[in-house]
Amino acid sequence: MEQGAVFQSNRSQAIRLPKAVALPDDVKRVDIVAVGRTRIIAPAGEAWDSWFEGAAATPDFMSERDQPALQVRDAFNRHHGQLCISSVTLMELIYGAEKSASQERNLAVVEGFAARLEVLPYDDIAANHTGQLRAELARNGTPIGPYDQLIAGHARSRGLIVVTNSRREFDRVAGLRIEDWTI
């Protein structure tokens, strides 16, 4: 483990990072995430404004979904360095683009969206959580859709927050953290 020196000046702090863990020279801004007493520092991601303004999907793409509101864009901008999606979510987006009348255009929108995020592969730990929650929901007589089960199990297995406006479905899953950025 490398260690760096912390310098304090009034209400500001600076850290001298050892060369082995230094950021690339072209990094001028960083995103910082607090996890308990730990701080995770990564090069700053891009704001999402340009994506929401420029990457307009055709009206038939994911037409059953509401278009993102300004507060959703603002939430993406606030959390841009911390966002990821499940490979299951990516599959759903690709399916929506593939069944649309403008496949090429909508696939480009999906690619642009996914390129800004980490896409988490669905693994055996996620499968374990999904199997458990599916059985629990069946016992309680409160099932949810199969893809929502996969997404919930994946998020729960990693301790992540599901951002959705489908709270009615995901609220049924014990131990799952949920946020709705549309309200």
pLDDT reading at 33 higher than 60 = no
Predicted model pTM: 0.65
Query: Where do the structural domains in the chain lie, given as residue ranges?
Result: 5-119, 122-179
Confidence band of 16 (pLDDT split at 50, 70, 90): confident
pLDDT reading at 57 higher than 60 = no
- Give mean pLDDT, residues 91-99: 93
Q: What is the dihedral of CA 27, 160, 108, 67, to 10 degrees?
A: -110
pLDDT reading at 179 higher than 50 = yes
Annotated binding-site ranges for Mg(2+): 148
Annotated binding-site ranges: 148
pLDDT reading at 45 higher than 90 = no
Confidence band of 35 (pLDDT split at 50, 70, 90): very low
Parallel, antiparallel, or unpaired: how do β-strands 161-163 and 177-179 relate? parallel
pLDDT reading at 52 higher than 80 = no
Q: What is the CATH number of domain 122-179?
A: 3.40.50.1010
Cα–Cα distance between 67 and 65 in angstroms, integer? 6
> Exposed (0-12), middle (13-18) or buried (19+): which is 147, by Cβ within 10 Å?
middle
pLDDT reading at 60 higher than 80 = no
